[in-house]
């Protein structure tokens, strides 16, 4: 049977960029939400903004690490959690190459702790925030990546996320063999951009390495000129090509998975637009929206970056009837600019 009411959802990493947008979507859809975030890279200010944006919703906040297994299990039992959406992770490709143990500890170790807590609290539904980085470099000649493509990550970020996918599947198999019930969806999404269209919450990373906010912060004089990391890739203009999905569309995909997930099911789905844009194309779109030039310099390639990552999202469209509502870079970037230009210091 599909997961139905009562609707009590725990969101790990819910004070972060994607997590906070997911919390807002859930709250506005009538769910009761418990946020768990250690605020290493999330923000208490984001939780305050969420409560202001959805004053009639039930949003509780627990500041702790997902490594605190027993406390996490207690929170699940206390709040009678029905399902978990797991965003809590480190997510910088370059940093993962420099600090691999941190990424394995957080992205795999944190997921293992969460699974133990869910098992203790008898919570049997999980939506896992995975990544296209699990695929590594696409097979030669492939124009896009579908779920059947080999998963050969080339950086610790992708490797740890793939290991977490395997751990979740192994946990499910163990539960099912013992006669229990556990279902999960691993959503492998591509680059995420945009903000709440009403400007209530936004994107605030510390440090900021994501392309769109980095362009905007450079425009605002809040950072050094943008460094274009590599202009000699085998792409049309020499810069990396990525599939950029709007954060609102991404949240809609998570919600669709949550509603559709049936008992004992396992889904592994790409979330993307099926369209690729180069770094230079995104920079030019930012200039158009901001109506100012983006200060930029050219630099060397960043370790761990594939030349091109574009989604084939036919499977999620077929299974969940999901498709991106935001069709242009300009719309997503415009929403991001609305929040960041009004909040140049982020959440302060």
User: Please, what is the Cα angle at 292 between 45 and 232, to 5 degrees?
Assistant: 95
Half-sphere exposure in the Cβ direction for 186 (13 Å, CA): 19
Tell me how far apart the terminal alpha carbons of the chain are, to the nearest angstrom: 44
DSSP state of 133: G
Secondary structure class of 36 (helix, strand, coil) = strand
Provide φ and ψ at 129, rounded to 5°: -80, 100
List active site positions: 157
In angstroms, the CA 347 to CA 77 distance is 31
In angstroms, the CA 240 to CA 91 distance is 18
In angstroms, the CA 202 to CA 307 distance is 28
Could you tell me which residues come within 8 angstroms of residue 309 by beta carbon, excluding any fewer than 6 positions away? 132, 135, 138, 145, 190, 191, 241, 242, 243, 276
Question: Quick one: angle between helices 69-78 and 110-121, nearest 10?
Answer: 40
In angstroms, the CA 313 to CA 145 distance is 8
User: Please, what is the Cα angle at 287 between 285 and 290, to 5 degrees?
Assistant: 110
Contact 77, 4 (CB under 8 A): no
């Amino acid at each position: 049977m599909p997961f139905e009411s009562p609707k009590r959802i725990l969101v790990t990493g819910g004070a972060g960029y994607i997590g906070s947008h997911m919390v807002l979507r859930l709250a506005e859809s009538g769910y009761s939400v418990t946020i768990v975030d250690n605020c290493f890279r999330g923000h208490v200010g984001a939780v305050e903004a969420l409560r202001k944006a959805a004053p009639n919703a039930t949003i509780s906040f627990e500041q702790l690490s997902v490594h605190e297994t027993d406390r996490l299990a207690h929170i699940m039992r206390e709040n009678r959690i029905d399902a978990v959406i797991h965003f809590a992770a480190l997510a910088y490709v370059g940093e993962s190459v420099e600090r691999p143990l941190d990424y394995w500890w957080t992205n795999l170790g944190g997921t293992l702790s969460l699974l133990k807590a869910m098992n203790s609290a008898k919570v049997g539904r999980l939506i896992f925030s995975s990544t296209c980085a699990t695929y590594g470099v696409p097979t030669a000649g492939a124009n896009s990546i579908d779920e059947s493509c080999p998963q050969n990550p080339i950086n610790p970020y992708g490797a740890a996320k793939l290991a977490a996918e395997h751990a979740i599947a192994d946990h499910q198999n163990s539960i099912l063999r013992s006669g229990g019930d556990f279902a999960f969806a691993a959503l492998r999404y591509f680059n995420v951009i945009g903000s709440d269209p009403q400007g209530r919450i936004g994107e605030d990373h510390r440090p900021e390495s994501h392309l769109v906010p980095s362009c905007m912060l450079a425009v605002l004089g809040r950072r050094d000129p943008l460094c274009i990391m590599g202009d000699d890739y085998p792409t049309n203009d020499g810069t990396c090509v990525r599939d950029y999905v709007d954060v609102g569309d991404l949240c809609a995909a998570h919600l669709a998975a949550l509603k559709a997930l049936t008992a004992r099911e396992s889904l592994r789905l790409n979330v993307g637009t099926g369209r690729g844009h180069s770094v230079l194309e995104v920079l030019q779109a930012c200039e158009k929206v901001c109506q100012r030039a983006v200060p930029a310099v050219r630099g060397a390639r960043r370790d761990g970056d594939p030349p091109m990552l574009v989604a084939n999202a036919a499977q999620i469209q077929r299974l969940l009837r999901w498709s991106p509502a935001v069709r242009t870079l300009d719309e997503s970037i415009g929403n991001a600019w609305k929040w960041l230009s009004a909040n140049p210091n982020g959440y302060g």
